[in-house]
Structure 1
């Protein structure tokens, strides 16, 4: 355990320059300060699980209710992309010494017309950084979700989800959690899962996520 903590600390030092200047600096530093202050209250006998990614994670205000047997940390930030998370890997993930990380990126990337290849390259770099400093850390890739606002891009999202799935099958300590299908009625989107912007989820949407993701929590 001491070795792992040391490695994570080294990771923070090595990568702190990568997030020193960026569009989410203030938000990220606020998140880091919040959880730094809460760290003494975390249960040392429980596994620490970080949920990280774009606003679908950030707006999950009661994510800690997914389990009372884990230390749940939510470092979701803004309208982030895989590129953004790559730049903030240390303060949002490594500094919290997680035993498991749930990642939600790709939603905004597709909307911003990033290629699938570029998204995958950045996601692989994020995972490599985590694994370099804790090879045993379990990683769960959360599929891109469907939404009313971006339903016209569903083909691209489905292609990305297939890539996430195939990648996770090849890697040790990695899993793919599909939230796409449970948010559909057959081939049609469940329109009652979203708030007024038709992009972000309401409580019913997050209840689906909770049901899907709970079985993936580290034991």
Structure 2
């Protein structure tokens, strides 16, 4: 009896550990945290001409057995004149990250904006904050063993002025520093705040309601970013509609520019919400959940958008020999579209431009759609993508990320085809990804609502036709990989998609 009890307890313990490991980083898995407060990480001269001791707090998961954990350095806000590492949302985020399994270093830095207060003095205040932030990153590299930090997994996160600091620490190069910055007084961008000889590079950043002076400082090949912002923010713009002392380009600009460059990125916008998400802890907690999901994916690797470059170049070559009228319909998307070999016959008599590529994602569609369109002027664009974004993988995107990225796809199409009809084909169910069917349904619902509330956008519903009477996937519609359609599966698409096109454009 005791032996059986031991086995049961061992199994329960093993399952608990497995569940914790599988959820770690995406969700809170540690109920308690450890903290070390007011750790000196450097020293630098402030605006008063005094040498200021720089302090940080370290938060880590209690009872953690990992010796090397990813680190997030958090930079608080306060307009470069106030704020602190241990109050408000900095503390909420620090606790939340530690409970997810990260080590979090929340820093204080030199505050103060010199008179006269103008764009220059605010830039120099940010410049000093960047120097201190870089010193903090170097501190953790120097003391990685002491704090259990994996130096290959260091990330940077900030709110408001702290987000401005994080953005410029990540993307501003020494050669781009404006000439008006007094480098004789403040030193070079890397700074002299401490821990020289160690790298200050990070793997990705999270920008919470921050903005940049010049978004063009983000260049191809730069590190990933995730952005959180209230659309009704009247202090720091979510777009570029206003300026906070020279910081004009907010989260939406950063996100869209990054997508255009093929940089892994994400965004969580809050409608009818102001700065710091109105200090609403519920919204801030939701935002951290979304950011945490994105950040966990960054631990697994870096998106390589150019992996489909050869396929896109092949489309360009095809465009030199194939001719289409302005009455054509362009159908593009991931492997489901690429493998639809009978598409032109199936959707006849409509003139079809067939442009499926790889196992592409929504972000890759946003990146490549201008090239895919090329010089074509189709009357409609039909898109199938998203199934590789919800694939029961550690790299999965949330339904909200798919929606926000699809909005950029639409924007990019509209830049070339302002009057074309755009169709989104619902993400299909299948056996391989049945474990995330709830996420697929959630994404489809978001996209359906977006399409139905936006002029000239259309949603093609295929889910009922692809599910059986029991509400589950139908194995007879798929090839041996249990993912892609066979001929029967494409017959379903033919009937549904063809029916929608016939309804909207006739059968001529």
TM-score with structure 2 setting the length: 0.38
2:411 to 115, 128, 131: 128
Distance 1:35 1:132 in 2: 20
Distance 1:185 1:53 in 2: 25
1:167 maps onto 2:464 in alignment: no
2:396 to 100, 113, 124: 113
Q: Any stretches of 5+ residues in structure 1 without a counterpart?
A: 1-16
1:193 alignment partner in structure 2: 477
How well do the aligned residues superpose, as a CA RMSD in angstroms?
1.7
Give the alignment of 1:10-89 within 5 angstroms: 18=261, 22-39=306-323, 42=324, 44=325, 47-89=327-369
Return the offset for 1:120: 1.2
State the Cα deviation string for residues 29-88 of structure 1 (Å, max 9, x = none). Answer: 11221133112xx3x3x6111111110011001111133333201111001001111111
Structure with greater helix percent: 1
Return the offset for 1:215: 2.4
Distance 1:32 1:122 in 2: 24
1:146 to 426, 429, 434: 429
Distance 1:94 1:117 in 2: 29
1:7 alignment partner in structure 2: none
8 Å contact from structure 1 (residues 94, 130) kept in 2: no
Distance 2:365 2:438 in 1: 24
Return the offset for 1:18: 4.8
Displacement over 6 Å in runs of 4+: none
Return the offset for 1:93: 2.4
State the Cα deviation string for residues 73-110 of structure 1 (Å, max 9, x = none). Answer: 11110010011111111121243222101111110011
Return the offset for 1:143: 0.3
State the Cα deviation string for residues 144-202 of structure 1 (Å, max 9, x = none). Answer: 00011111110000001101110111011111111111011121211100111000000
Structure with greater strand percent: 2
Match of 1:47, SS state, is coil
* Structure number, greater radius of gyration: 2
State the Cα deviation string for residues 92-136 of structure 1 (Å, max 9, x = none). Answer: 124322210111111001123112222111100110111222221
Count residues in correspondence: 198
TM-score with structure 1 setting the length: 0.85
